[in-house]
Amino acid sequence: MLQISKQSVVYFLWLTLLLVSCKQEIVPIECKPGTDHEDYVHSLEKANLLNTALAKDWLPAAQASLESPVQIQTPYQETFYWAPETPEAQGYIFSVKRGQKILIDLDPQKLDSTQIFMDLFRIEKQSAGDEHVHIASAQKKELILGFEPREDGRYLLRIQPELLRGGQYHFIVKVVPSLQFPVLDKTRQAIGSFFGDERDGGRRKHHGIDIFAKRHTPILAPTDGYIRFAGERGLGGQVVWMHDPKRDLKLYFAHLHTIIAKSGQWVELGDTLGLVGNTGNARTTPPHLHFGIYQDGPIDPFHFVADLPDKPKNIRSNQNLVGQQVRMRQTAAITLTVPDSMKQDEKMLDQYQMIEIKAAMLSNYRVKLPNGIVGVIHMNDVESMERPIMTDRLSEDLILLEKPAKNVAIVEHLVTPEHITVLAKDADHWYVRSITGAAGWIETLP
């Protein structure tokens, strides 16, 4: 039986389903007025569930993910966990250059959810603050998204499971050029002159990139399109003008030694347009292709074709700890993201501080403290709670609490001379296990 990988599905969607939508992006599925996320809210309302305690937490979690997202650098990957009993959502904010294609893939590892909502927003600066403009949503079954921005910008991805569902997921963001490299067997290392470089002693700017290659190296169509002109013209010598209808771009190929494409011809990705040369005003330079892109003026082609690293670095932190409660091995800093801004702050955590690992990325963990604060710590600063800090006998009767706070549920009454095992701490509370196996918090050590 033919096996089709998820990566193949991603690229198949790009080749067959890309449509221009939502003003500035090219996305696989055109935007619609009601998203699956909004439809789900309506279904809760119709079922008279919107006023339940869980639903009241679910909607604020969705909003909080937009207001306090995690800032990431693409390409990126992490493994994260959601507890089914706790309504959660996660936002990721990242920057994209025009010409890049972003591929987002969410892969369930330990699935406990029947529906995940993935929504992409463009962030637009407004006088009253940032506005989140919905761009696209992942299809329910695929959990993949892809898009090309029409201009440099910042984007936010929100991921949220339906109520009472969770699990462990692997999340990856790849960055690839939206066009194929236009010179056979060459990469960005062959680019020897860049957009904006000075020409003629500073009297003009370079409106393209120069890709150096041996004479007669094939020049390839970087996408499907229509040849508007093929012939000799001005400083470019032997040139080809091509129209990319999907992106509404004019592609310019100059200094060709030989032209193969014909005016009025439709060409497909990878077709040979001509051969590298140095005609026109490039007669005194080594053979190269001058490649330009135009749309209401010149556009920097670099990110359209540059084969930058698209795969994120490997996750070195222990992914088996994701979703687990651990403690600080030593006093160390946690990096916090300040809400409503991209600024970061640091706070020192004491040795033995209990933390819950929400996600693993690179050599770090994203963790949550018992008071709800979320931040990032280094993987070497944590340890499991399997080894007790100490075991002691009670000198007085104590109350075992559900949480390290006032006015919370009581787990158990501890009476002398019972033994307890101390596992972690949080401020002036200690996390312990009683002789019966019950775990909870006490205010003081015996």
pLDDT, one tens digit per residue, over 388-443 is 999 989 889 999 999 999 889 999 999 998 899 999 999 999 999 999 999 999 98
CB under 8 Å to 347, separation ≥6 — which residues? 333, 334, 336, 373, 375
The burial class, CB within 10 Å (0-12 / 13-18 / 19+), for 179 is: buried
What residue segments make up the domains of the chain, in order of their start? 6-177, 188-305, 319-383, 390-442
Q: First CA to last CA across the chain, in angstroms?
A: 65
CB 375 within 8 A of CB 334: yes
Alpha carbon distances (Å) from 421 to 180, 405, 413, 430, 431: 61, 20, 15, 10, 9
- Provide the pLDDT for residue 437: 93
| 1: confidence class by pLDDT, cuts 50, 70, 90 | very low
* Superfamily per CATH, domain 390-442: SH3 Domains (2.30.30.40)
- Provide the pLDDT for residue 207: 92
Across 81-85, 246-250, 267-271, least confident range: 81-85
Q: How far apart are CA 384 and CA 426, in angstroms?
A: 15
Q: Determine what percent of the chain is predicted with pLDDT higher than 70.
A: 89
- Provide the pLDDT for residue 7: 46
| 345: confidence class by pLDDT, cuts 50, 70, 90 | confident
Is domain 6-177 given the CATH code 2.40.10.480 in the classification?
no
Encode pLDDT of 55-93 as tens digits: 889 999 999 999 889 989 999 999 999 988 889 999 999
Q: Which of 309, 307, 311 is nearest to 105 (CA)?
A: 311
| 289: confidence class by pLDDT, cuts 50, 70, 90 | very high
Q: How far apart are CA 116 and CA 301, in angstroms?
A: 36
| 330: confidence class by pLDDT, cuts 50, 70, 90 | very high
Q: How far apart are CA 140 and CA 131, in angstroms?
A: 25
- Provide the pLDDT for residue 342: 55
| 338: confidence class by pLDDT, cuts 50, 70, 90 | low
Q: What is the residue-averaged pLDDT of the chain?
A: 88
pLDDT top residue among 172 and 196: 172
CB 121 within 8 A of CB 134: yes
The β-bridge relationship of strands 90-96 and 70-71 is parallel
pLDDT exceeds 90 at position 291: yes
Angle between helices 36-46 and 53-67 (to 10 degrees): 160
pLDDT exceeds 60 at position 32: no
* Superfamily per CATH, domain 188-305: Glucose Permease (Domain IIA) (2.70.70.10)
- Provide the pLDDT for residue 230: 98
The β-bridge relationship of strands 266-267 and 238-244 is unpaired
pLDDT top residue among 354 and 56: 354
| 51: confidence class by pLDDT, cuts 50, 70, 90 | confident
CB 171 within 8 A of CB 77: yes
- Residue 41: phi and psi, rounded to 5, are -60, -45
Alpha carbon distances (Å) from 280 to 230, 256, 368: 14, 9, 63
Q: Which residue has the tokens 């990957």?
A: 77
CATH fold match for the domains 319-383 and 390-442: yes
319-383: CATH topology is SH3 type barrels. (2.30.30)
Q: Which helix (H) or strand (E) holds 211?
A: strand 209-212
- Provide the pLDDT for residue 203: 72
CB 336 within 8 A of CB 373: yes
- Provide the pLDDT for residue 6: 46
pLDDT exceeds 70 at position 256: yes
Segment 145-158 shows an average pLDDT of 94
pLDDT exceeds 60 at position 29: no
- Residue 64: phi and psi, rounded to 5, are -65, -35
CB under 8 Å to 438, separation ≥6 — which residues? 400, 411, 412
Segment 86-114 shows an average pLDDT of 88
pLDDT exceeds 80 at position 45: yes
pLDDT exceeds 80 at position 24: no
Dihedral sign of CA atoms 160, 161, 164, 170 in order: negative
C-alpha radius of gyration, the chain, whole number: 28
- Provide the pLDDT for residue 263: 97
Q: Determine what percent of the chain is predicted with pLDDT higher than 90.
A: 69
- Provide the pLDDT for residue 49: 87
Q: How far apart are CA 12 and CA 15, in angstroms?
A: 5
Kindly report the pTM of this predicted structure: 0.86
Helix, strand and coil content of the chain, in percent to the nearest 5, comes to: 15, 45, 40
